[in-house]
């Protein structure tokens, strides 16, 4: 029952992802038509540099006037792969107003303005899909939103940034420092010239906001996500992690509080046990671990970026949105009915690995232990080591039981005020246990 009138697709952006989307639409046209029930027609491609030659794309379709393209009124689906907030936000809104459904790969925009965009989609009875916005090709948003729709997700723990995973994996496997590993990532094209968005955790935080909202059926804004980058992770931290049978990953962690009445979302480097499935995620791969009440522990693994993998996710959404259109329906929109508040970082409960430089004399351990006790933070293990250079200092490594971030912050402030504590060398959270 193939419909012959094609569904018209407008492509906004024709870079690494967009050109791959256009290529697959052409080379796999018959398969896509069979799966949708109607052929697709590339109706227009909005770009910034129209003079650039784009293999396989009819130059007559190329325009610099993206607004006119989305306003045409005959477009069935707009695929937005420009990225960034503006003009993407205005274009998506205008597209929805003019009757098009939208497929986007724009994590920054969805994290910041997802609620408003979903509202616009709902108002106009159109779809807004964005599987490609989180973890590239890995099916994650659809499984969370649909497959687990009858379950209660308690926790999402993921490696959602390939650049930082490449750097940390390199540091782990070669003993390299951060800068050296970053340089290699840059040389190989895994890191951008300005790596800030990746290494400072902004990219992962946007994904955490999106994932937390979907997982807990609430709204989590980008500002709600606690964020700590990984530029201060050292080779010494990896050595400490190894002693504990751990490695270090930059994790996005979304959790439901024990009482179920609030949620938290955060991005920071953390130690995880080598036995945890996320520990063996190598190179630029992404993986997301989901814990839910009935399903238990699930993991989704795959390439988190790149033109073809991201295009795969975009095209999956495109097929779904087109099927909905032919059926005169829409898929599940935003589900934010729980309205759970997002708690601040101080209320997050986890374990900590703290390295201190202390005076190498009797009584220091007792002093330090007293500080932890006074703040209600229970110590799991402690290891004291005299320094081989005999400068009168020792290293003290403390691993705590679970405690709130606020309590731990109090401990660290108090430790810094002790004469016998010369410095707090590092504090790292321990997750996945």
- Give the catalytic positions in this structure: 207
User: Counting contacts by CB under 8 A, is residue 337 touching a second copy?
Assistant: yes
Distance, in Å, from the CA atom of 195 to the CA atom of 210, rounded to the nearest integer, reads 22
Residue 381 touching a second copy (CB under 8 A): no
Q: Does the annotation list 18 as a binding residue?
A: yes
149: contact with a second copy by CB under 8 A: yes
Out of 4, 49, 150, 363, the residue judged to bind a second copy by CB under 8 A? 150
Q: Which stretch binds a second copy (CB under 8 A): 146-154, 253-261, 348-356, 397-405?
A: 146-154
Does position 102 interact with a second copy (CB under 8 A)? The reply is: no
Is 107 assigned a ligand-binding role in the annotation?
yes
Distance set, CA 105 to CA 21, 101, 403 (Å): 12, 14, 37
Is 122 labelled as part of a ligand binding site?
no
Tell me the C-alpha to C-alpha distance, in Å, between residue 412 and each of 236, 257, 368, 403, 424. Answer: 19, 24, 10, 13, 8
147 binds a second copy (CB under 8 A): yes
Which one of the spans 135-143, 203-211, 379-387, 416-424 is the region binding a second copy (CB under 8 A)?
A: 135-143
**In terms of CB distance, is 153 or 399 closer to a second copy?**
153
Q: Which lies closer to a second copy via its Cβ, residue 256 or residue 353?
A: 256
What are the CA-CA distances from residue 92 to residues 85, 128, 136, 374, 418 (Å)?
Answer: 11, 9, 20, 54, 56
Interaction between residue 277 and a second copy (CB under 8 A): yes
Decide: is 301 part of the binding site for a second copy (CB under 8 A): yes
Residue 38 binds a second copy, judged by CB under 8 A: no
Give the range of 81-89, 316-324, 361-369, 406-414 binding a second copy by CB under 8 A. 316-324
292 binds a second copy (CB under 8 A): yes
Ligand-binding annotation for 147, yes or no, is: no
Q: Is 15 annotated as a binding residue?
A: yes
Q: Residues binding a second copy: what is the number (CB under 8 A)? A: 57
Sole residue written with tokens 């097929």: 319
Angle (CA) 289-131-350 rounded to 5° is 30
Q: Does residue 201 have a known ligand-binding role?
A: no
| Binding letters toward a second copy, positions 50-89, x by CB under 8 A | ----------------------------------------
| By CB under 8 A, residue 188 contacts a second copy | no
Q: Which window, 106-114, 132-140, 203-211, 251-259, contacts a second copy (CB under 8 A)?
A: 132-140
Per-residue burial over 312-342, b = 16 or more CB atoms within 10 Å of its CB, e = otherwise: bbbbbbbbbbbbbbeeeebbeebebeeebeb
Confirm or reject binding of residue 20 to a second copy (CB under 8 A).
yes
- Only segment of 27-35, 65-73, 109-117, 343-351 that touches a second copy (CB under 8 A): 27-35
Q: Which of 196, 297, 381, 386 binds a second copy (CB under 8 A)?
A: 297
SS3 for the chain, per residue? CCCCCCEEEEEECCCHHHHHHHHHHHHCHHHHHHHHCCCEEEEEEECCCCCCCCCCCCHHHEECCHHHHHHCCCCCEEEECCCCCCCHHHHHHHHHHCCCEEEECCHHHHHHHHHHHHHHHHHCCCCEECHHHCCCCCCCHHHHHHHCCCCCEEEEEEECCHHHHHHHHHHHHHCCCHHHHHHHHHHCCCCCCCCHHHHCCHHHHHHHHHHHHHHHCCCCCHHHCEECCCCCCCHHHHHHHHHCCEEEEEEEEEEECCCCCCEEEEEEEEEEECCCHHHHCCCCEEEEEEEECCCEEEEEEEECCCHHHHHHHHHHHHHHHHHHHHCCCCCCCCCCCCCCCECCHHHCEEEEEEEEEEECCCCHHHHHHHHHHHCCCCEEEEEEEECCCCCCEEEEEEEECCEEHHHHHHHHHHHHCCCCEEEEEEEEEECCC
Q: Is 303 in the site for a second copy (CB under 8 A)?
A: yes
Select from 5, 189, 193, 328 the one that contacts a second copy (CB under 8 A): 328
**Shortest spacing between CB 391 and a second copy, in angstroms:** 43
Q: In this chain, which stretch among 68-76, 157-165, 241-249, 294-302 interacts with a second copy, using CB under 8 A?
A: 294-302
Closer residue to a second copy, CB minimum distance, 229 or 303: 303
- Asked if 8 touches a second copy (CB under 8 A), the answer is no
Residue whose CB is less far from a second copy, 199 or 211: 211
Binding residues for NADP(+): 12-19
Binding residues: 12-19, 107, 192
Binding residues for L-homoserine: 192
Can you give the binding site for a second copy, defined by CB under 8 A? 20, 24, 28, 31-32, 34-35, 131, 137-139, 142-143, 146-152, 217, 277, 280, 292-303, 306, 308-309, 311-320, 323, 327-330, 332, 335, 337-338
């Amino acid at each position: 029952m193939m419909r012959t009138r094609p569904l018209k697709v407008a492509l906004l952006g024709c870079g690494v992802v967009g050109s791959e989307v256009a290529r697959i639409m052409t080379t796999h046209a018959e398969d896509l038509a069979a799966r949708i029930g109607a052929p697709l027609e590339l109706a227009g491609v909005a770009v910034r540099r129209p003079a650039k030659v784009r293999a396989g794309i009819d130059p007559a379709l190329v325009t610099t006037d993206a607004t006119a393209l989305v306003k045409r009124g005959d477009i069935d689906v707009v695929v937005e792969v420009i990225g960034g907030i503006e003009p993407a936000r205005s274009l998506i809104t205008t597209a929805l107003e003019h009757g098009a459904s939208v497929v986007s790969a724009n994590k920054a925009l969805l994290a910041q303005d997802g609620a408003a965009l979903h509202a616009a989609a709902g108002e106009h009875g159109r779809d807004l899909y964005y599987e490609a916005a989180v973890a590239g090709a890995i099916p994650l948003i659809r499984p969370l939103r649909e497959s687990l729709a009858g379950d209660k997700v308690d926790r999402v723990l993921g490696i959602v940034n390939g650049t930082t995973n490449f750097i940390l994996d390199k540091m782990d496997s070669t003993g390299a420092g951060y800068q050296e590993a970053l340089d290699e990532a840059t040389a190989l094209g895994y890191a951008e010239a300005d790596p800030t968005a990746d290494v400072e955790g902004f990219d992962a935080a946007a994904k955490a906001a999106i994932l937390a909202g979907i997982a807990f059926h609430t709204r989590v804004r980008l500002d709600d996500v606690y964020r700590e980058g990984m530029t201060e992770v050292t080779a010494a931290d990896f050595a400490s992690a190894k002693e504990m049978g751990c490695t270090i990953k930059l994790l996005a962690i979304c959790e439901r509080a024990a009482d179920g009445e609030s949620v938290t979302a955060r991005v920071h480097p953390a130690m995880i046990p080598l036995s945890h499935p996320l520990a063996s995620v190598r190179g630029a791969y992404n993986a997301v671990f989901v814990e839910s009440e009935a399903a238990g522990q699930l993991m989704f693994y795959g390439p988190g970026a790149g033109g073809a993998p991201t295009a795969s996710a975009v095209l999956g959404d495109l097929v779904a949105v087109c099927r909905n259109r032919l059926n005169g329906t829409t898929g599940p929109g935003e589900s934010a009915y729980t309205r759970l508040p997002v708690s601040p970082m101080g209320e997050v409960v986890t374990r900590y690995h703290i390295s201190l430089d202390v005076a190498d004399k009797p009584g220091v351990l007792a002093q330090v232990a007293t500080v932890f006790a006074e703040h209600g933070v229970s110590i799991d293990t402690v290891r004291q080591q005299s320094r081989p250079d005999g400068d009168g200092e020792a290293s003290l490594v403390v691993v705590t039981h679970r405690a709130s971030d606020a309590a731990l912050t109090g401990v660290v402030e108090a430790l810094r005020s002790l004469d016998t504590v010369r410095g707090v060398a590092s504090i790292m959270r321990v997750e996945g246990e």
